[in-house]
Structure 1
Amino acid sequence: MKTEETTQQLDKIQELIDKIEVGMLTTMESNGDHRSRPMQTQKFDADGCLWFFTSRSSPKTDELIQHPDVNLSYADKDSHSYVSITGTASIEDDPALKEELWNSVAKAWFPKGLEDPDLTLLKVKIKEAEYWDSTSSNMVQAYHIAKALITGEQYDEGEHKKVQV
């Protein structure tokens, strides 16, 4: 059951992901190696799930079936915002959700549109999320880093939370 604090933290994570948009999805290959690739986030739903378009024929589809535990990482160096998500992935074929999420950019990967037989959805149910977010400007951050270097005190990097879902 989600607490009010967990809900607020998930709202913060959604805000960061919505700004960053593209995450790096890390899966495990059959030989145990990890592989990451960029994925455009389509939706962060109220149940704590992230949704992506993907190809049925993609190697990641087989990797997810064999090893559904994944990591998603998001980074925006300009705003100093970072998110790391541990979750369980599944391949879903929901025509209504595909239609809801469809956008013109997706057509670059799926030229046949919603009728493309290779088009499917990848769902990541969040188990744990961690984020770092600095609301300070680059100039203020540079000042605090310089101050930490001069004084020997540790630099305070901003807001940092770990959320169990």
Structure 2
Amino acid sequence: MSQPNETETYKHDPEAQKKLREMAKNIDIAMLTTVDTDGTLRSRPMSTNGEVEFDGDLWFFTYGSSHKVDEIERQPKVNVAFSDTRTQTYISISGTAELVRDEAKIKELWKPELKAWFPKGTDEPDIALLKVSGVKAEYWDSPSGIVATAVGLVKSLTTGKAPSEMGDHEKISLT
């Protein structure tokens, strides 16, 4: 059986982008996936600190000398995945990443709780931002939560209705 051309299914939809932004800002931790020097995928948790502007960009604080920055400089294509099992919300954003050392932007996005990772605050010598410019996004959202989803799964066994039809699933172009 042939697979559909995935690139044709992503649409530009301002309402879906708005929903994506609202969903993402309620999930603080995302998994940032990069490509290591040997070609393997590496993921690590990163905090958005609720800063999901979603004009298509995500911002993460980092140390400029970190290994992930080396990986991004070699291969800037990344994925950022959000997951909230409590609300059954899942998001995948594919795009390109770059290191940003803009003092004004660092101060704009700074939050006091970041001192746990950056003890000198915005004066930390190696502090930087990772900017991920989203190209494509996909989300899955079950509006009823985990209990209702479990009931829906059981119901799907008796009705023949696919579980994927019990919530929203959108593929969005961000460019």
* TM-score by shorter chain over 0.5: yes
Whether contact under 8 Å (2:88, 2:145) holds in the other structure is: no
Cα–Cα, structure 1 residues 46 and 135, in superposed 2: closer, same or farther, change >3 Å?
Answer: closer
Say if 2:47 is the partner of 1:40.
yes
Structure 1 residue 95: Cα displacement: 0.7
Counterpart residue identity of residue 111, structure 2: N
Structure 1 residue 46: Cα displacement: 5.1
Cα–Cα, structure 1 residues 134 and 88, in superposed 2: closer, same or farther, change >3 Å?
Answer: same
Counterpart residue identity of residue 162, structure 1: K
Deviates more, 1:149-158 or 1:83-92: 149-158
Cα–Cα, structure 1 residues 67 and 26, in superposed 2: closer, same or farther, change >3 Å?
Answer: same
Distance 1:36 1:55 in 2: 16
Say if 2:113 is the partner of 1:105.
yes
Whether contact under 8 Å (2:93, 2:137) holds in the other structure is: yes
Residue-pair matches, total: 161
- Percent sequence identity over aligned pairs: 43
Q: Identify the match of residue 98 of structure 2 among 72, 90, 101.
A: 90
Structure 1 residue 69: Cα displacement: 0.1
Say if 2:24 is the partner of 1:14.
no
2:20 match: secondary structure: helix
The alignment's TM-score, normalised by the length of structure 1, stands at: 0.92
1:44 match: secondary structure: coil
Q: Which runs of 5+ in 2 are unaligned?
A: 1-11
Match of 2:30 in 1: 23
Cα–Cα, structure 1 residues 160 and 46, in superposed 2: closer, same or farther, change >3 Å?
Answer: closer
Deviation string, structure 1 residues 106-161 (Cα, Å, up to 9, x no partner): 11111011111110000000000000001114333222211111233322230010
Say if 2:67 is the partner of 1:75.
no
Q: Which runs of 5+ in 1 are unaligned?
A: none
The alignment's TM-score, normalised by the length of structure 2, stands at: 0.87
